[in-house]
Structure 1
C-alpha cells in the first residue's frame, strides 16, 4: 500500500509499505477513505514527542470501509463505512468501564500513560495510523461507529477527534449559564471548544490567537470575540479586564506545547528542547483566569516536566482539568449536534489533497498558509 512515513523532523514522505493484516481475532482492516491532519501531528512532525520512530505512519483521524474482518468481530461486516475514534480502547478494562476510553489500560503497554493512539509515538503503543491506503483497527467491536447511510465521510470525519476534544474541553470547564470563557488557540479544537461553550450556556466567549484568518474564522464560525496576539502586547492584562476586572470564569488551553510568546520558554522548550515544549499558554491561563476559576487543558504536553506556575494556581484556588478526549463516550451525542447543524465539523475542512501530496499538505498546515484550518488527505482508492 501507499502510506505516509515519518523520515525525521520536518520530513515526511509517501512510500510503499506492507499492507496491514489481521493480527488478532478482534481486528478489522479498513480501506481508508479520508484521513485528516491534526495539530497533534505537527508535534510529531517537529520532533517534539519522544519515541516517534522513523518509518511510522501518522494519522489518528480517519474514516474507512471494512475490507477484512477478524473471526472475533461481531458488529461489523465487509463494506461497512465507519469513523474511528483516535483512542484505541478495549471496552472492558477498569477505565473503559467508566467511560474513560482515553485511559484504556489494555491498548498501551505503557499503561501509566494514555490509551493506545493511532499514528502517534511508541509512547502510545506504536500503532500505525490512517494517513495511508489501509489501516489495522484493533478492538473493532468497541471503537468504530458506523456512518449513517444519509451522511458522507466528511460529515462525520471530525467525530474521530476534533469535535469530541473541543466539546470535552468546554465540558471540563464546568460552564454555568452566563460564564465568560477564554479559549487559547483558534485551530480546529479551539474553534470547536468556543462553539461548544455556547451550547453549554456561556454568556461570552473570547478567542485568543495570532493568525488573522483563524481569528476571523472564530468570529464567524464560533461567534467569538477575538484577542489578536499580533496587536496585543499583554494578553493577560486584556483578559483580566473581563468580568468586571476579575478575568474569565474559564480558560481553555487548546494550544499545548508549541505555543509561542515567552522568549525563555521558547528557548528552553522549543529551541533547545530542554523541556517538552513551551507551556506559555498555561502561564497565561493561570494568571488571567479569575480566582476560583477553572482551566481546561486539551492542548498536548509531554513528560517529564513543564515550567508551570503551580504556586499561582494554588493560591488563586483554581480547578485544573485536563486529559485526552474520551471520544467513544461523546460520539453518539455529538452526531446529533452534527445532524442539527450545531457543530458543523465539515465546515472546518478548508483544504483537501491526494494522499500522494501529503508532504505538501503538512508544509501548508504547519505554516497556517492560505487560510488553512483543517487539511484532509484522500487516498487514491477512496470513494464517496
Structure 2
C-alpha cells in the first residue's frame, strides 16, 4: 500500500485496498487464531475448510499458525505445510475461500522453545537461541498442560536449515493456492526469541547486538521474499507483549532498527500487536508511530480493537488494516455485523476455545440473515 496521502473516512474500513500484490475487498483482517483442530499428521480437514470458508468476507484471512517443519511444532493438532498431504489439504481450503471472493495468507511459524519433547522428532530437545527454558506451558494430548521442555541452543551450522525451511514453506504456500504468507516473528516463538535479550544470550553473530539478534528474522525474510516476492509476504511483530516469557530490555531501539531493515524488502504489510497480547494495550511505554513512519507498506494493527476504534484507526491513518481475533471466532459474518453496527455473538460457555471435536464452538456460530 502506498504511503501517498489518501482521503479517508470512518467508512474506509469497509472499502477495498491493495496490500502489496494482494487486492482486498475491505480493510478488516481475520487474525491468526490457533484452534488446535488439525487432523492426523497435522493435516487440515473438511471442518477446517468449512470454518475458513464461512469467514471469507474478511478482506484478508490470516490462517492459524502453521509449522514449517516437524521440528517447528509446539502444540497439539496444529497444522503444518511441510508434507504433500498438508499442501493438498490446504489447497482445498484456499480454493473454497477464493470461490467466495476472499483472500487468504498462511501464517508460518517455528515455535522454538515454546515446545515439548513430545512434539519433537525422536523426542529431541526443542531448539532456541540459548538453552533457556520458557516459563510457559503447552498442551500435550493425554497429559494436559505441561511445562515447556528445556531447549538446546540452535547450532550455528543448523541455522541455514531453519531459514531454508521457511523458504520452502513459502513456495509450498503458493503451490497450495495461498495469496501470500505471514511470517510469525512475535510472541516468544523462535524468530522472536532470537530478537530479545531475555531469551538470546548467544555470543556469536546471532547474539549480542541488536543487529546480530535481528539477523535470523531478516535472513528468513530475505529468503522468503526472494522465493515468492515481497508483495506476498507480511511479518507479525509484538514489540512489548510479554506472552510466552518474552522480555527485552530496550524494545524501542530494537524494533526501530528491525522495521528499518524490513522496509528494504518491499513487504506487503507489517502486522503489529499493540501492547500485551489479549491484554492491556498500554502495558509498557512504546512509540508505535515511530515504527509506522519507518515502513512504506501496509500497516496492520491488532489487539482489542472494536468497531469504533477500527473505524477511527483507518480514518486517521493510524492503520491501513485492522485485525480482529476472537470476534471472528464467534461471528463468521463479522464484516457485515461491523458494517451495519449489529450486535456480536457471545462465546458458547460449553465450547472450548482451543481444541474440541465436531462443529460445536467452531463452525456452528450463527450468521445473520443478510437478505
* TM-score above 0.5: no
Structure ranking higher in strand proportion: 1
Structure ranking higher in helix proportion: 2
